[in-house]
Structure 1
């Protein structure tokens, strides 16, 4: 896999510290747990990960070309359905969400209603797929709200993840951009990973597609047991990154403390010499 600095990647937007840039760099080099091609990504024996991703790239390109031709038509009868069909094909045929299912009605938690559009893994991974637009993921609309209250697709998914005991990670997309979200108690500080799908396919950015495939593959979201509690590979990666960050901060604190002690000793020695 080609290494590409995530901090300088314009197609991947890391918001609110959900995942650190260095984690995406490790992802590129297959340096994270759960990245064995056959065991973890279900690549058939005898086939290489690079070749399989190349095959999925060609499938995705053909799907994008079909959607792109339709989305630019001003007389498009149902932009939402068109975007949803494109994302359904992409998610099932390219990223392995073979059990992706459209929700027929809003989900209810207590007295709150959440018009989630799709789900996978028996509801463990919710999706909100909406019509494309310049600010589609952040535009507050009645259809995503409740009782006169407007919500954006991103806001809807975030509120649902925060309220649900079953779902911790989810996806929202208008067909042109895609965001990965996790439950986040701080509604005032958005946290997500955003991928610019339109630029990725229009500019034929294969290296970025490889990164996206490794990150977005259904196996990354699939529920699994970790130390006796429900988890998934994305959650494990996030926890690992947090632990590494805490260890680094501890080392920095120790270094600063040692430096201050050395400085104090040096000043004390100078005062003694002068006396």
Structure 2
């Protein structure tokens, strides 16, 4: 079942069942039962430092970076990809605030079989494809590395699907940021998207706080990708959904059984009033 939600967070939407809306709400509310939301042990903050305080400081610093980046972006002429501008003035500072340090560009394209994937950056086993604000995430852009043969989104998604080394990844053009995961479905997309432009321009701090919690370096850190916190949260969402469906199925079965008993009694009562040998035979059989 495909799920799409923009109701709770105005600049965030989730496609598919990767990290559904109810899971995002639990993260935003710091649900202790979810796990992985301790400031010191899970996000590596200083003793006594709160998650909200750390996110707020990052927000304040990034407002300045965004303002400077936007001024440069608005001054661009024509259809420039603006790759260097977007990375240096905005995306690298953003990921720096999320705990990744200063990301270094990939030395070469990743080879999987006979196909190469020109992913711009990596953090350990997490591909992070950062393109310019003049490059669409869902369209090919001629002459732009990492966007010429495939759209940036498709490039990262196909790499995640074909390689056993990578499970989660990020793709961004500075205006939007998406979290992606290996997705077995060939017809339905699955990702979480943050509308960075609307978020920063509208001053939507609550949405940024959730971005900070979901995209922080600690969410993808693990010896094996399948052990990272994002994967644990995604697995919890799937299990929770399965339990809910099981409960719903049980409730429906009980309701049908109850309805069957009621209808059966009404039929027997009606047959008693009918002078028909076949009807009487049916009643006798039901009483056995």
Structure 1 length-normalised TM: 0.89
Supply the RMSD in Å over aligned alpha carbons.
Answer: 2.1
**Residue correspondences, number:** 262
- How far residue 185 of structure 1 moved from its aligned partner, in angstroms, is 1.9
Q: What does the per-residue CA deviation read over 1:172-202, in whole Å, with 9 as the maximum and x for residues that have no partner?
A: 0000100100011223221110000011111
Contact 1:6 1:22 in 2 (8 A): no
Contact 2:120 2:146 in 1 (8 A): no
Which residue is 1:37 aligned to?
Answer: 39
Contact 1:144 1:152 in 2 (8 A): no
| SS of equivalent residue, structure 2 residue 27 | helix
Which residue is 1:90 aligned to?
Answer: 94
| SS of equivalent residue, structure 1 residue 96 | helix
Instruction: Determine if the alignment matches structure 1 residue 132 to structure 2 residue 128.
Output: no
Q: What does the per-residue CA deviation read over 1:93-139, in whole Å, with 9 as the maximum and x for residues that have no partner?
A: x1001263211221111101100000002xx1001111113x71011
- How far residue 41 of structure 1 moved from its aligned partner, in angstroms, is 0.9
Contact 2:132 2:174 in 1 (8 A): yes
Q: Aligned equivalents of 2:81 and 2:268: distance in 1?
A: 83
Q: Aligned equivalents of 1:50 and 1:257: distance in 2?
A: 45
Identify unmatched segments of 5+ residues in structure 2. Answer: 273-288
- How far residue 230 of structure 1 moved from its aligned partner, in angstroms, is 3.9
Structure with bigger gyration radius: 2
Contact 1:14 1:20 in 2 (8 A): yes
Instruction: Determine if the alignment matches structure 1 residue 234 to structure 2 residue 220.
Output: no
Q: Aligned equivalents of 2:235 and 2:48: distance in 1?
A: 33
Which residue is 2:49 aligned to?
Answer: 47
Which residue is 2:265 aligned to?
Answer: 269
In terms of fraction of residues, the more strand-rich structure is 1
Identify unmatched segments of 5+ residues in structure 1. Answer: none
Q: Aligned equivalents of 1:138 and 1:258: distance in 2?
A: 46
Q: Aligned equivalents of 2:102 and 2:250: distance in 1?
A: 49
Instruction: Determine if the alignment matches structure 1 residue 112 to structure 2 residue 115.
Output: yes
Q: Aligned equivalents of 2:57 and 2:107: distance in 1?
A: 33
Q: What does the per-residue CA deviation read over 1:73-93, in whole Å, with 9 as the maximum and x for residues that have no partner?
A: 12497711111112112102x
| SS of equivalent residue, structure 1 residue 250 | helix
In terms of fraction of residues, the more helix-rich structure is 2
Comparing 163-172 with 8-17, greater Cα deviation is found at 8-17
Which residue is 2:185 aligned to?
Answer: 186
Structure 2 length-normalised TM: 0.85
| SS of equivalent residue, structure 1 residue 171 | strand
Instruction: Determine if the alignment matches structure 1 residue 103 to structure 2 residue 102.
Output: no
